[in-house]
Chains A and B, each alone.
Chain A
Amino acid sequence: SAVISQKPSRDICQRGTSLTIQCQVDSQVTMMFWYRQQPGQSLTLIATANQGSEATYESGFVIDKFPISRPNLTFSTLTVSNMSPEDSSIYLCSATGQGATDTQYFGPGTRLTVL
């Protein structure tokens, strides 16, 4: 199994600013993902964080709004740029060792409120 930590755990931000969320895994993993959970909704995949290359974004999510880095096999960041109240959500990082067939482990999430 993998233990995943995220920082910050929560934040309150002003409209128009940006926030970078960090995700740290305690072991080397193949795949890392970023999900969003809007209030009252389930989780939606934002992007797959690729080590050493650009992230792969899902439909409806763009790099300018959600730039992602993954400099090594255990660490990734997600930035929420030029925030608006609609970005208020829980952002979760996940990781898996084998990709499509392996258990996905999730971090505790970052609760973001945009005023």
Chain B
Amino acid sequence: KQEVTQIPAALSVPEGENLVLNCSFTDSAIYNLQWFRQDPGKGLTSLLLIQSSQREQTSGRLNASLDKSSGRSTLYIAASQPGDSATYLCAVGDGGSQGNLIFGKGTKLSVKP
């Protein structure tokens, strides 16, 4: 059974720092991996989607990498801003239920001004 783990559970950094969020999964047979952010009282916003054949994806200040063989993904946030404060969720698509995502518990990020 696929399990997704995110470390750390919470992270507080000063504005301007570069930071890395980690995600690991137990079964490397995945279709894709998706990073989301969740703001309090709101739904999920998709940040980046990495297909199983890809190694990384970039969007603005965000860069996500995928190493299937080791079961790891990282989300790199450059020059963090207070507006980046949110919970970041990693989810793997393992093909079950034709698109089912298995989620980690998230990393709660706080960026201090």
Binding site for B on A (CB under 8 A): 4, 6, 31, 33, 41-45, 48, 56, 58, 92, 94, 96, 99-109, 111
B104 touches A42 (CB 8 A): yes
Binding site for A on B (CB under 8 A): 31-32, 34, 36, 41-46, 49, 51, 89, 91, 93, 95, 97-101, 103-106
Tell which of B43, B51, B95, B106 touches A108, judged by Cβ atoms closer than 8 Å.
Answer: B43
A56 touches B89 (CB 8 A): no
B residues less than 8 Å from A6 (CB atoms): 43
Q: How many A-B residue pairs have CB under 8 A?
A: 69
B51 touches A48 (CB 8 A): no
Tell which of A41, A92, A96, A100 touches B105, judged by Cβ atoms closer than 8 Å.
Answer: A41
Given contacts A42-B89, A43-B89, A92-B43, A100 and B101 within 8 Å (CB-CB):
no
A31 touches B103 (CB 8 A): no
A residues less than 8 Å from B44 (CB atoms): 43, 92, 94, 106
Q: A41-B105, A106-B46 are in contact. List 10 more A-B contacts (CB 8 A).
A: A4-B43, A6-B43, A33-B97, A42-B105, A44-B103, A58-B100, A94-B101, A101-B32, A104-B46, A109-B42
B43 touches A100 (CB 8 A): no
A42 touches B106 (CB 8 A): yes
Given contacts A42-B89, A104-B34, A48 and B46 within 8 Å (CB-CB):
no
